[in-house]
Chains A and B, each alone.
Chain A
C-alpha cells in the first residue's frame, strides 16, 4: 500500500522505512507487555484471565489504531516515539494491575484517551501555507494559554480536592453525571502550557533575553565582568521563580515547583547560551530550598521532612523515612534480574503505584528492567532533542527541546528521589506511573513532538 498519494517520490521511500521501523518496534513493545501481563495473570490467578489481559488488549488496539491513522495521515514522523510511549504506557498498565488493581479501569481509559490525544495533536491542525508547522494556534496565543493554565491552577488553589479524601489537594473535579468520578490535576497541564509559552517567548525574544557582558574598570587596571540581562527581560525569570515559590508554599508541591524552575532554566540556557544563567538559577533554587528548610514555618514542614529523610533515612527507617527506606529495600530485593512480576513485595512502599512505580519496576524486573525503563526515557529525550536540531522554525525547535526537557527533568527528579540521589518529591515517572492527568498531558506532549517530527522530515 502506498503511504499517501500526494507524497513526492523521494519521500515515499522514507515513509515506507518509517512504517516498517515503527511496526517492528511496536511488535517488540507488544511482546513485552503481552508477556508481562500474561505472567502476572498466571502468578495472580494461576491461569490466563480476562481480568488481567483486557487492559493489554485495549492498549494494543489503541496503539494499532494510532499506528494506522498516523501511517495514513502523517507518514513522515519519528518512528521511535509511538513505540516508546506505547511500551512505557503498557508497562504502566501491568504495574497498576499489580500494585493498585482498583485503579486499573481508570488507568486503561486514560491510556486510550492519551493515545487518542497524541494522534489528534500530531494531525491537527494540518499545515497550511500561512501556518507551515501547524502550531500557530499554540505559538500566537501564548499569553492566553498561560493565563488559562494559571487560572486553572488558581481554581485548584481555591477549590482543589483530593480524590482519596485526604492529603494534598491538587485536583479539580468531582462526581459527574454518567462519567462517575473524574479528577484532573491542572498543574500537569500547566507544565505543558508553560513549555509552549516559554518556547514561543524564547523563539521571539531569545536574543533579548540573552545576557550582556558589562565590563567595569576597577583601579589598578583590573576588570570585573558582569553578565546581566536587560532588566525588562528579567521579569519572566522572576515571575517563574515566584510561581515556583507559590506552588511550593501554597500547594506544598515540591516536585512541581522544582520542575517548573529547572524547565525555565533550561529554556533560558537554550535561548541565551550562557551557562552562568543556569548556575545562578541553581544557586537561587538551592538557596530557596535551604531557606525553606531553615525557616520555622509550619507550611514548610514538608520541605524539612523531605530533606531530613533524604540526608538521614536510616535512623528513622520505621518512622518518617519509612517510604524511602522501603524503596531502597525494593531496589535491593530486585537484584540483577528481579523477582518477576507479582512475586516481589513492592507494596510495602506507601503509594507505590504513583511516586514509586520505578522502585516496583526495579524489584520485579530487576536492574535490567529498571535500566530498560531508563533507556526508553533517555531515547525519548534524545529523539526530542534531535528533533529540535532538525526543526526548521525556532518555535518548533524550542517546543521540541522544551518537551524533551520536561520529560527528562521529570524523570530525573523522581528517579533521583527513588535512588536517594535527591530529596523525594511527588512527581510521576512519565507514562509508567499511575496518574490520569500525567498520562494525558505526557501523551499530548509527545503528540506535539510527533507533529514537529512530521514538519522536520517533510521538508
Chain B
C-alpha cells in the first residue's frame, strides 16, 4: 500500500460503523481504503437495489394492477387492432343471399354490405359502433360464447375469433320490392307473414349506404330527414284514423256492436282541441253501417265505439291485440306504452280517433294487424331464423314466445277482415282479395299529416295457408291513394 493510499479517506471516523471498519483493517492483506470503500459500496448497492425495487413495483402496477383500466381506454390502438382481426359472421337473408360479410386479411378486415338493407341490417363501424341487426346479434356474429378459460387460451395463442353466421327471416327480393315501392317517399314499411310471425321486409326511408358510413356519418347524422333513424323500430307516430279497425275489433270482441249495425250520422266531424277531424270520403247515406263507416275512415265511428267500450275496455281491447307488447325481437325497439285509461270523455274521444297521447311504431302496428290476420291470435314475430355456419351446422332459433296478450276470437278477426276487404277490394277476384284500411293522422303543431296503410292478403285464407301483412307509414303526406298503392304493391310482390 502506497503512502498516498493511506491518506485517501476522511479525517476522522464519524460513526461506530466506520470505527469498526477501521479496526477490521488490522486484518492482514486488507487495506484501510478498502474497508471504508467497502462500506460505502454496500450502502450504494442497497440504495440501488431499493430503486430497482421501486421500478419493479411500478412495472407490476402498470402491467397487472392498472392494466385492465388502461386497456379499456378508448385511445388504446390495440382495441382497433383486435377488432380488425375478428372474422365477423355473415348476415344472410332467408334464401341465403348475403346481406353483410367480412372480407380481407386479419388485421385489415372490412365489412361489406351487398344490399342496401340499412337500417334494418344496420351497420358495423370501428368508429361509430353497431346498430340494427349488427347490434342485436353482435355476440353471435363475433363468435361462439366460450368459457373464460377457452377465451384466455385463444388469447394466449392469438387465435382470431371467428364469428357465426346469422340467417334472418328477411327476404332480399321482397325487401328490394318494398324499397322500390316506397321510392323517394319518407316513411317506413313492414312486411310479415302472419301465421309464422316471420318478418320479410323492413324498410325505413330515407336510408343510407352502410359501406360508406364512416365517410358520410357527419352528413347523415346532421341531415334533417334523419336517415340513420330506423323508423320501423325507433320512430313512434300518432295512429289517427288507422286505429279504427283495431277499435272495431275491440268492440266486436266484446259483442258491443255488429258489422251491419247502423251508425247514426257517420259523416259528422269530431272536434279534438279545436281541430275538425272528418271522414276520408263522404259516406253514402243509403247504407250507414259500421262496415261502410270503417271503409270511409269516419272518426264518428271510432268515437261511438270508444264510448261503448268505456275507458278501460278501450285500453284493454287494444292490448288484447298485442298493440302494446313490444315484439320479442333482439333488435332494439322503442315500445309504445299503453295510454293510461283515458280520464274523461274528452281524452277518450281523442284517443279513439287516434289523436291523443298514444303513439305507435310501424312494427307494433304490424303486430296488431297480424293478430287479426292470424285468426285473432297474437303471432310471435321473428327476425332471426337460425345461427351457425355451413361448416359447423346450423341451429334453428325458435320464436322466443312469451306473448302475454290474449288475442281476440277468430270470429272477431274474421269480421274485421271482412269489413276491411269489403271496403277495399270488392272488385278483385276471389282469392286475391286484399283486406286493407288507410288512415291519416294529423300530428304536430304545423298540422303535419302522416298516412298509414294497414293490410293483409289474401283476405280469404283458411289455416294454415300463409297470409301476408303490410304496414306502411308515409311521413308528412296525406295521400290515401299513394299509401294504398304502395301497400298493394308490397302485397303483390309476395306472389310475384
Contacts and interface: CB of A to CB of B under 8 A. Distances in A.
A206 B9 contact: yes
A412 B59 CA distance: 13
B10 A210 contact: yes
Nearest to B69: A332
A345 B77 contact: yes
A199 B134 CA distance: 70
A389 interface: yes
Given A207-B9, A367-B59, A412-B51, A345 B41 contact: no
A331 B59 contact: yes
A332 B67 contact: yes
A415 B70 contact: no
Nearest to A370: B59
B37 A419 contact: no
A142 to B, nearest CB: 15
Contact of A362 (B4, B36, B63): B63
B8 interface: yes
Interface in A336-365: 336-337, 339-340, 343-345, 348, 362
Given A367-B64, A385-B44, A329 B70 contact: yes
Contact of B56 (A334, A371, A385): A371
A18 interface: no
A370 B81 contact: no
Nearest to A347: B77
Nearest to A208: B7
A200 to B, nearest CB: 13
B48 A348 contact: no
Interface string A402-414: 0001001000100
Given A270-B37, A374-B52, A412-B51, A210 B58 contact: no
Contacts of A408: 48
B440 to A, nearest CB: 52
Interface string B31-57: 001101111110011001101101110
A397 B59 contact: no
Interface in A401-451: 401, 405, 408, 412, 415-416, 419-421
B52 A378 contact: yes
A206 B59 contact: no
Contacts of B7: 207
B432 interface: no
B75 interface: yes
Nearest to A367: B63
A385 B41 contact: yes
Interface in B71-98: 71, 73, 75-78, 81
Contacts of B44: 266, 269-270, 385, 401, 405
Given A329-B70, A371-B59, A335 B64 contact: yes
B75 A325 contact: yes
Q: What's the dominant secondary structure at chain B's contact region?
A: helix
B37 A389 contact: yes
B255 interface: no
Contacts of B18: 273
Contacts of B156: 337
B9 A332 contact: no
B37 A397 contact: yes
B52 A336 contact: no
A274 B11 CA distance: 12
Interface in A312-337: 317-318, 325-326, 328-329, 331-337
A204 interface: yes
**Interface residue SS majority, chain A:** helix
Interface residues of B, number: 45
B60 interface: yes
B41 A270 contact: yes
A156 interface: no
B66 interface: yes
A394 interface: yes
A401 to B, nearest CB: 6
B463 interface: no
A160 interface: no
A207 B10 contact: yes
Most buried by B among A210, A274, A366, A408: A408
Interface in B10-36: 10-11, 18, 33-34, 36
A273 B10 contact: yes
A385 B158 CA distance: 43
B5 interface: yes
Contacts of B45: 381-382, 385
Given A266-B44, A389-B41, A419-B55, A332 B66 contact: yes
Given A345-B77, A412-B55, A272 B10 contact: yes
A325 to B, nearest CB: 7
Interface string A252-294: 0000000000000010011111100000000000000000000
A333 to B, nearest CB: 6
Nearest to A371: B56
A24 interface: no
A415 B76 CA distance: 22
Nearest to B4: A204
Contact of B158 (A333, A343, A381, A416): A343
B7 to A, nearest CB: 5
A10 to B, nearest CB: 15
Given A210-B9, A378-B49, A419-B58, A329 B76 contact: yes
B37 A332 contact: no
A365 B358 CA distance: 62
B24 to A, nearest CB: 13
Contacts of B56: 371, 374
Nearest to B72: A332
Interface string A96-108: 0000000000000
Interface in B217-259: none
A51 to B, nearest CB: 21
B81 A345 contact: yes
Nearest to B62: A331
A4 interface: no
A74 interface: no
A212 interface: yes
B16 to A, nearest CB: 14
A335 B65 CA distance: 9
A15 interface: no
Considering the complex of A and B, which 3 residue pairs feature the smallest CB-CB distances, nearest first? A419-B58, A332-B67, A332-B70
Given A367-B60, A416-B55, 4 more contacts: A273-B18, A329-B71, A391-B34, A394-B33
9 contacts: A269-B44, A270-B41, A270-B44, A332-B67, A345-B78, A362-B59, A385-B41, A412-B52, A419-B58
